Amino acid sequence: MDLSFYVIIDRRRIKGRLPIWIAREAIAGGATAIQLREKEMENGDLYNLASSIREITKKRKALFLVDDRVDIAQACDADGVHLGEKDLPLKIARKLLGRDKIIGATVRNLSQALRAQREGADYLSLGPIFSTKTKEGLPPPRGLKAITRIKKKIKIPLIAIGGINRENVASIIRAGADGIAVVGAVVGQENVRKATQELLKQIQKAKEL
């Protein structure tokens, strides 16, 4: 399970380009996992899109997760699902998906992180680390200290999200995060592949220190 560089595809952020093209370019640039975040598409269209991205990730040996929708993840045989605070309870998702699928959980603090770990999450997504406009209604930024504090207390991978870019990604890795999840820093850029490569370069440098 390599979630070290996790790209979230949100149609509202990709400037009218095809999600399938975004997935190909991000993986070519070094992304190890793709998540499809789609809140407005009809079920049939969402299934078709998820299935197409699933085929790409299989061929390129990257992970594919679906945000929120356990049913779509099952239908297209995704590697797993990511659950937010208001999504299906983790225990129920695990019953439906079984032990072989990956389940990630969004957390905001240590108590949520420990609870999600107890309930069987395979990884945690902590954020927002920095200020971001990608998603509305988010709490204040958690900051780098939250990464260090929570990482010391958990045994599963911790992925940082929120306001991450080429300038600050190294500080996130140095703070103890196992990986990053990004939206705008990759899918919102004109050259998706190059943006991915540049972030990856910074991640690798930080890990070498």
**pLDDT for position 81:** 98
**pLDDT for position 16:** 92
Q: Per-10-residue mean pLDDT for the chain, 209 residues long?
A: 95 94 98 96 97 97 97 97 93 96 97 96 96 74 96 98 95 97 96 98 88
Question: What domains are defined for the chain?
Answer: 5-208 (3.20.20.70)
21-58 confidence digits (pLDDT tens): 999 999 999 999 999 999 889 999 999 999 999 999 99
3-state SS track over the chain: CCCCEEEEEEHHHCCCCCHHHHHHHHHHHCCCEEEEECCCCCHHHHHHHHHHHHHHHHHHCCEEEEECCHHHHHHCCCCEEEECCCCCCHHHHHHHHCCCCEEEEEECCHHHHHHHHHCCCCEEEECCCCCCCCCCCCCCCCCHHHHHHHHCCCCCCEEEECCCCCCCHHHHHHHCCCEEEECHHHHCCCCHHHHHHHHHHHHHHHHHC
Distance of alpha carbon 146 from alpha carbon 202, whole angstroms: 21
